[in-house]
Amino acid sequence: MSGRYPDAVDVAIVGSGPTGSAYARILSEEAPGLTIAMVEVGPTVSEPAGAHVKNIVDADLRAAAQRSSEGPGVGEATLNSPRAVAQGGRRARPGTYLLPDGDFAASGDGLPMAAMSSNVGGMGAHWTAACPRPGASERIAFLDATGELDELLSEGERLLGVTTHAFDGAPFGDLLRSRLSAAVDAGRAPSARVQRMPLAVHRREDGRLVWSGSDVVMGDATRDNPEFTLFDETLATRVIVEDGHAVGIEVRDLRTGESHEVRARYVVVAADGLRTPQLLWASGIRPDALGRYLNDQSQVVFAARITGIDDVEVAEVPGTGGTLSESSGVSWVPFTDEMPFHGQIMQLDASPIPLADDDPVVPGSIVGLGLFCAKDLQRDDRLEFSEEATDSYGLPAIRVHYSLTERDRAVIERAKEEIVALGRAVGQTLDDKPFQLPLGASLHYQGTTRMGERDDGESVVSPTSEVWGVEGLYLGGNNVIPTSTACNPTLTSVALAVKGARAIASRAAIR
């Protein structure tokens, strides 16, 4: 040991979000003898470590956990009410913080809502828990060709605890989906029709619904693994590379300011779509595609009231006190290539964006509608890392070059028309016009360390998520996804992390 940290481990993991946790879980299950050190820049804000903050029943304690996740942005105004959303401007969601003014748009349209979280569990402590499978062109063709993708997605669902039955008892759910189906399903394949959203949610023995976070992904296999240790408030400042091999990480203890080297046979960086390429750049690992093909999902939102339900009997479910009610649940309008957006229709307390105040007469009758739009992939949509300026953690400052294409703008306008039609199908719309959230609001940043079938200069990692040209360095996160997607990307990212972790376990067993 070198103070707080080990001198050497088998695997060093940077980032404690769902994908970093998936690496830890698979390695704990398939290679239990490996020593694993996971480092996280933020503090532990929930119990167990990495748990979703929405599971914190006390509102003040929940708000405190969100503030503790906001890193250098703590104290800034957040989108915490429908009024704040309507006013617009640059405000982060609770639990996240924004890129500094100016850095979000070095050129083009930029990503004014580009945001991150700094806490154990990463964005997995704050996400919507929606886990749809990708469809049509969202899918990764070279993994489909080998027959791997669906098996990996199934394994991701296991780790995340995904179900479509969390809200089976929601009194308005079936009626809502029947109305949406009447407006959407004609001409669609069965898999692309309106359905329950697959959610990473489970019901406890006392009846209460609980959101999955990184704690669920880690599971008992990781927590009970004596060879696994999690170090919070620890900044990874460099991946150490020698002779083309990743051999460890340099970290700074944010409690003391002291720096340490942790040697490792394998290094995994799963720090999010902005900070993973940032750390590689800071480490002198700079392949041509690093930071490029950045893509986000433009988001159009609306709100509507489910009508004709005044006489629907709403049963009180024993033991479900907490932050989740059961009214209409979460419904899904899948992406298709013909309709290149993904829809989620959510009861208000399940939505990360407060779109309206609930109806005091018929609680739970108002739903939020959101359509996420797939982006045209462009090589010049990219992150730029400064050789001179640094961010609040002392790493190279990030600046964003990002532009919508004419096709992107046409898809957004089409989504606005479609979401109004969906709102009218639900019942009574609450607004005259839908609202397009500022770019970056989805928090689904992808492509910045994209996977490729071969090392052709247009990707950063191989199909096992190992960085081209740097043996033993693996990446995780939405940034690895190489396709343009509209669906929530976490399930796909966890599935890719499973493949990467299996590759490490297999290699470690041979040596």
pLDDT in tens, 39-74: 999 999 999 999 999 999 999 999 999 999 999 988
d(CA 431, CA 85): 13
Average pLDDT over residues 198-211: 91
d(CA 215, CA 236): 21
Average pLDDT over residues 367-391: 97
401 given a catalytic annotation: no
pLDDT band at 318 (very low <50, low <70, confident <90, very high): very low
Q: Which helix (H) or strand (E) is 371 found in, with range?
A: strand 366-373
pLDDT band at 7 (very low <50, low <70, confident <90, very high): very high
Indicate the SS3 state at residue 26.
Answer: helix
Give pLDDT, residue 247.
Answer: 98
Main-chain phi, psi angles of 338, to 5 degrees: -75, -35
Per DSSP, the residues of 300-360 read EEEEEEE-S-TT---PPPTT--SS---SS-EEEE---SSS-EEEEEEEGGG-SS--SPPPS
Average pLDDT over residues 333-361: 87
Tell me the per-residue pLDDT of 410-429, one tens digit each, with 9 for 90 and over. 999 999 999 999 999 999 99
Q: How many CB atoms lie within 10 A of CB 431?
A: 15
Average pLDDT over residues 167-172: 92
Indicate the SS3 state at residue 295.
Answer: strand
Categorise residue 300: left if φ over 0, alpha if ψ from -120 to 50, beta otherwise.
Answer: beta
Q: Is the pLDDT of residue 266 over 90?
A: yes
Per DSSP, the residues of 423-484 read HHHHEEESSSS-EEPPTTTT---B-TT-B-SS-SSS-SB-TTSBBTTSBTEEE-SGGG--S-
| Mean confidence (pLDDT) of the chain | 93
Which listed residue (52, 126, 401, 444) is catalytic?
A: 444
pLDDT band at 322 (very low <50, low <70, confident <90, very high): low
* Residue whose C-alpha is closest to residue 16's, from 34, 47, 48, 41: 41
Average pLDDT over residues 331-335: 98
Tokens matching residue 328: 């209409």
Tell me the per-residue pLDDT of 86-132, one tens digit each, with 9 for 90 and over. 666 788 999 999 998 777 888 899 999 999 999 999 999 999 999 99
Average pLDDT over residues 299-324: 72
Q: Whose structure tokens read 């959230």?
A: 437
Average pLDDT over residues 308-322: 58
d(CA 319, CA 82): 29
Determine the angle formed by the axes of helices 214-223 and 149-160, rounding to 10 degrees. 80
Where helices occur in 121-233 by DSSP H, the ranges are 141-145, 149-160, 173-184, 214-223
Percentage of the chain exceeding pLDDT 90: 84
SS (H, E, C) 241-256: EECCEEEEEEEEECCC
Tell me the per-residue pLDDT of 447-495, one tens digit each, with 9 for 90 and over. 999 999 999 999 999 999 999 999 999 999 999 999 999 999 999 999 9
Quick one: how many helices (H) and strands (E) in the chain?
A: 10, 22
Percentage of the chain exceeding pLDDT 70: 95
Average pLDDT over residues 132-159: 97
Which pTM was predicted? 0.96
Give pLDDT, residue 319.
Answer: 40
